[in-house]
Amino acid sequence: MAVGKMDYQFTAKHSVFGRYLFDRGALNQPNRWDADKSNILFANLLKQTAREHAFTLGDTYLLGANTVNAFRVALNRGYSFRSRFPDLPSWPKLGSKMYGYPDPSYVGLAVTGGVTLQTGAGGGGENFKQVVNTYGVNDDVSWVHGTHQLAFGTSLLRMMEVNYVQSIPQGGASFNGSILGLGYADFLTGNAATFLQNNPTTHNNSQWFFAMYASDTWKATRKVTMSYGVR
């Protein structure tokens, strides 16, 4: 993780600040399959990376003896990627008469009482990529007037998200012994209990968020303080 900060005082009434944060995580890198291709079970360990950037810029200005304006800009970017190995076999490559999508190949296989490859039927063991970007601005004003402390402001946020899921384009077969009584017996004779396949999907979503608020903190008496507002 890396963190950076900046503060600058223009005048007694005017100051600005900046904050930046970067974080990165990785899972199973390097992976054993990268160096040893003798056992395909090593390929069950997926490689996953994630990165996060967050930046905030703020401007605070004293409008008067009792009034403060705070303006903020925020930019955030998140990225997560789970990758399949590029050199794995697939059902079409092994001779199955089926369509294989051009996505990275793998064998989805689950044998009851035996081996499981790429989470069996393929779900959860696929390539996955997610990118989330958010951009926001907000402005807040605080005003002290007599026994009242008034606050009001507005915010505008834009969120954009892209998800890519490989899902099960190369197919996933399960052998549970429902035909011959043993999972391996069904597997060796080609009697699959289920075979699932679907296409990769991409979701591209974006949305605007807008909000306003106003509130008042009123010191009604020496011992009684009331707070109320609307959003």
Domain ranges of the chain: 2-36+52-230
Q: What is the pLDDT of residue 30?
A: 59
> Going by C-beta distance under 8 Å and a sequence separation of 6 or more, which residues neighbour residue 14?
59, 60, 61, 62
Residue holding tokens 């399960």?
Answer: 174
Q: What is the pLDDT of residue 72?
A: 96
Q: How would you write the pLDDT of the chain (231 residues) with one tens digit per residue? A: 899 999 999 999 999 999 999 998 877 655 667 777 777 777 666 677 889 999 999 999 999 889 999 999 999 999 887 766 667 777 888 888 888 777 777 778 888 888 887 654 444 446 778 899 999 999 999 999 999 999 999 999 999 998 887 777 778 888 999 999 999 999 899 898 988 887 878 888 999 999 999 999 999 988 899 999 999
Kindly provide the residue ranges of all beta strands, DSSP E only, lying in the chain, ordered along the sequence. Answer: 2-9, 14-27, 47-64, 67-83, 108-111, 116-117, 128-145, 148-165, 172-175, 194-196, 201-219, 225-230
Q: Is the pTM of this model over 0.75?
A: no
User: DSSP letters along 165-231, please?
Assistant: E--STT-EEEE-STTTSSHHHHHHHT--SEEE----EEEEEEEEEEEEEEEEEEE-SSS-EEEEEE-
Q: What is the pLDDT of residue 199?
A: 80
